[in-house]
Every structure is written in structure tokens, then in C-alpha cells.
Amino acid sequence: MKDKARFLCSLCGKEYPIETREFRCNCGGAFKLNWIPQPIPISSLIHRNTSIWRYREALPIVEDKNIVSMGEGFTPLIPFPYKDFKRISLKLDYLCPTGSFKDRGVSVLISKLKELGISQCLGDSSGNAGASIAAYTVRAGIKCRIFCPATTSEGKLIQMRAYGAQVTKIPGSRADAAMAVQEEAKRCYDEDAEKCYYAPQTWNPYFLEGVKTLGFEICEQLGWKVPDTIICPTGYGTTYMGLYQGFKELLEQGIVNKLPRLIGIQAEVISPIFQAFSRKAMEVDEVPQEKTMAEGIACARPTRGREILEVARLTGGFFEIVSEKEILEGWKELNRQGIYVEPTSAVVVKALGRLALKSLLDHRENIVLILTSSGLKATEKLSGYVNA
């Protein structure tokens, strides 16, 4: 079977073969995948396995034998009684195989690497994507090296090493780690371009193709109804864009008749997308790298800035910020409901209050909050916040 997929630059429209080792267009634009999925056969899903691969027709891997899967996805959607909100659900996406939603995107990304015959994968990560890539590459028999900011939670670094990945800590910001891995990727391509692949989840369209199943799944769990609003943590914006992609495909296939309103939440101290959207800018400008409890979304310079702003405008979505104090309070609110996530995930809780106060949220709306990662990954950082 032949792979008809191509990469297209989202800025200048230039086409690249999917085998390219460029992670973005020469013009600096991010790639999107030019590929037409088959319709999802919703009436036969009941007979299928409970992973993202139940939506097989929508996932751009040519041959089944290349699928690298650990049953990621199909996480619980449970009610969240919160103040006078009537219909909030929590999507417990931290219950994926490596403890974060990143497994959705990584399962598709690493399956593609296997299909391309790659034997060495390089990545950069604030922690969760690295842990996920380490796990899926080891299953696929692909050697793995991950570059992380030196401040990454110890739990995540240990997890990566446990899967056998070679981990390099880079002093400085998330962007410094990205720069270091890109240097290393160049060296690796000089040695063996055939076998080596730099797979940044923040740029690679195959990652987004996996994350879009989050949209399919929420919709399926609600009886193929679209929630009014979905609220997710937003750093690079892959969750935001993946949700959009998922619902857009359902809309195009006539399975649903509207898109949800997507609200992305950033940490106040690092909020480039929120700021750009608020001043109606077309581009997202880099902001200073500050420290935040929400390490999973501490992104000072998003890669798909222009696209994210466009999607938000097109769909009635927008962005909100929460303070460090609100992140901690939100985390404790979740704890009182038996939910233990890492602080990054907790940004969504107090955003509810802020949005309601500005009349941007109605108490009767059907709202889904995405919880992206497990608290067990950040235990050493969280130990200071619980009473002895």
C-alpha cells in the first residue's frame, strides 16, 4: 500500500514528502498533514477495542503491522460537582499508559516512525512527551534520546530513563532544550540520515493526528453530542489544535453539526497566546521565560501561534490565564474530589470562576475540562503543598 500523505506548510503552502527530515518549512512555518481520512463508521465502533485505534479510519498509518499501541485513550469522562455549575465533566486523560494525554499523539507519531523504518529518535520535552516517546520507542525497538530543561520534574526524568531512553538535561528554558536537540539532530543526520529522526511533538503533524482522538472520544462518550465548551491547559497548543482537528473532521463527516467553543488556559506568568489574542494580534510574540507550577505548559514561544489564533477566532474560542495561587487552589479542589493531577492540569479549575465572573461562561452549559497528566509524576514538587 502506498502512503499518499504529504506535508504542507501552513504559511507558504510548500509541499514536502513525509520522509523529510525537516521538522518545519524553510520559511519557518509548521507543517500540516495533507491526507484524507476515511469516514468513521460510528455504528460499528461498539465492536472495536477501547483505544484511539478504534478510530482506525481517521489515523494516517498505512499498515496495521506498524501500529505501536498500549491501549492509550478511552479515558473516563466523569461528572465534576463544582459550585453552581450544573453540567461539568472531567476528562481523566492522565489515565493513559504513561500517565499523560501525550500518549495519544505519540502512539501515532511513533507508529509513523516505525512505518518509515527509523531506528533512532530524538526528542525534546518538558517531561511528559519525553516519557511517552521513551515508552513507545522502546516498544517499537527504536533507540531514543530526549533533551529536557534541567528543571524538569525528577519523576518524569526517572520515567524516561526507566524505559531506557538516554536523557540530557539542558540548563535554561524549554526553548534552550529545543535548540540543543536540533543541534544534535544535525549531527545525527550527518552520520546516518536514513535511520535518524527528530520528532518534536510541538511541530510534527502526526502528533496532532493522534491528539484529535480526544475530540472523537469526548463526542462518542456524550452519545455523539458536542459539548458547548471544552477547557484545556495550553502551552504549545497541541491539545487545543488537536481538539479542533477532531471536531472539524466530525463536522465534515456530518457526524455532528457544530464545533465546541475551545477555551485554552495559560499560566499568567507565561501567557504569550493569551496576550496575543487579547490584543487581536495575528502572530504570537515570545515572552520572557518565567517560573510556573504549570511546567507542562511553560511555553514562551509557541510553534503554531498564528494557526492557533486563527482557529480561536474562527470557532468563537479564546484564552484565559490563572495565577500561581489559583493553580494551587484548583489543584486542591480536585484533590477534594479524589483527583490527583500535576499542577499543569489544575489550571482549568479556577479558570471556571474567572470566566463566569466575566459572563463568558454560563452555569447551565455542558462543559468538559481536560485533565492532562498524573500528579504521581510530580510528587517531589507537590510534597510541599500537602499538610504533614
Ligand X SMILES: *Cc1c(COP(=O)(O)O)cnc(C)c1O
Contacting residues toward Zn ion, per CB under 5 A: 9, 11-12, 14, 25, 27, 29
How many whole angstroms separate alpha carbon 313 and alpha carbon 262?
Answer: 10
CB of 172 to ligand X, least distance (A): 18
317 binds ligand X (CB under 6 A): no
Considering CB distances under 5 to 8 angstroms, the limit depending on partner class, which of ligand X, Zn ion, none binds residue 372?
ligand X
- Judged by CB under 6 A, the residue of 130, 215, 235, 330 near ligand X is 235
- Separation CA 136–CA 146 (nearest Å): 13
Helix, strand, or coil here: 11?
Answer: coil
To which residue does cell 459539548 refer?
227
Sign of CA pseudo-dihedral 372, 374, 378, 383: positive
Q: Which is nearer to ligand X, 53 or 203 (CB)?
A: 203
The window from 188-196, 219-227, 339-347, 356-364 that contacts ligand X (CB under 6 A) reads 339-347
Measured from the CB of residue 187, what is the shortest distance to ligand X in angstroms? 27
Q: Residues near 55 by Cβ (< 8 Å), separated by ≥ 6?
A: 40, 45, 213, 216
Nearest-approach distance from CB 273 to Zn ion, in angstroms:
21
Residues 6+ apart with CB under 8 A from 308: 237, 240, 241, 264, 273, 284, 302
Q: Which helix (H) or strand (E) holds 277?
A: helix 272-278
Per CB under 6 A, contacts with ligand X among 204-223 are: none
- Given Zn ion, ligand X, none, residue 9, with its beta carbon under 5 to 8 Å by kind, binds Zn ion
Residue 240 CB contacts under 8 Å (≥ 6 apart), including other chains: 232, 234, 262, 264, 308, 311, 312, 317
**Shortest Cβ 17–ligand X spacing (Å):** 26
Considering only 60, 205, 210, 233, the residue that binds ligand X (CB under 6 A) is 233
Name the residue nearer to ligand X (CB basis): 159 or 238: 238
Question: Concatenated DSSP letters for 64-120?
Answer: GGG---S------EEE--BTTBSEEEEEETT-STTSBTHHHHHHHHHHHHHHTT--E
Nearest-approach distance from CB 371 to ligand X, in angstroms: 9
Q: Which residue has the cell 520507542?
A: 137
Q: Compute the least distance from the CB of residue 14 to Zn ion, in Å.
A: 5
Euclidean distance between CA atoms 47 and 184, whole angstroms: 45
| CB closest to ligand X, residue no | 296
To the nearest whole angstrom, how small is the minimum distance from the Cβ of residue 199 to Zn ion? Answer: 20
State how far the Cα of 315 lies from the Cα of 313, in Å rounded to an integer. Answer: 6
- For the CB of residue 21, give the shortest distance to ligand X in the complex, in Å: 23
DSSP state at residue 131: H
Interaction of residue 303 with ligand X, rule CB under 6 A: no
**Of the candidate residues 10, 234, 292, 303, the single one contacting ligand X (CB under 6 A):** 234
CA trace torsion 242, 287, 321, 343 (10° rounding): 70
- Closer residue to Zn ion, CB minimum distance, 5 or 52: 5
Chain residues 345-364 in contact with ligand X, contact rule CB under 6 A: 345
Please pick, from the candidates 296, 305, 317, 330, the single residue that binds ligand X as defined by CB under 6 A.
296
Q: Interface with ligand X includes 373 (CB under 6 A)?
A: yes
Q: How many whole angstroms from its chain centre is CA 39?
A: 23
Query: With contact defined as beta carbons under 8 Å apart, do 375 and 130 qualify?
Result: no
Of residues 236 through 265, those in contact with ligand X by CB under 6 A are 236-239
Q: Which does 239 bind (CB under 5 to 8 A by kind): Zn ion, ligand X, none?
A: ligand X
Using the minimum distance from each CB to Zn ion, give the nearer residue, 28 or 164.
Answer: 28
Give the shortest CB-117-to-ligand X separation in angstroms. 28
> Is 155 one of the binding residues for ligand X (CB under 6 A)?
no
**Using CA atoms, how far apart are residues 234 and 254, in angstroms rounded to an integer?**
28
Rounded least distance, CB 201 to ligand X, Å? 8
Task: State which of positions 45-84 bind ligand X (CB under 6 A).
Answer: none
Look at strands 196-198 and 77-79 and give their pairing.
Answer: unpaired
Candidate ranges 82-90, 116-124, 221-229, 232-240; the one touching ligand X (CB under 6 A): 232-240
Half-sphere exposure for 180 (CA within 13 Å, toward CB): 20
Judged by beta carbon, residue 120 or residue 202, the one nearer ligand X is: 202
Residues at the interface with ligand X (CB under 6 A): 100, 102, 128, 233-239, 296-297, 342, 344-345, 372-373
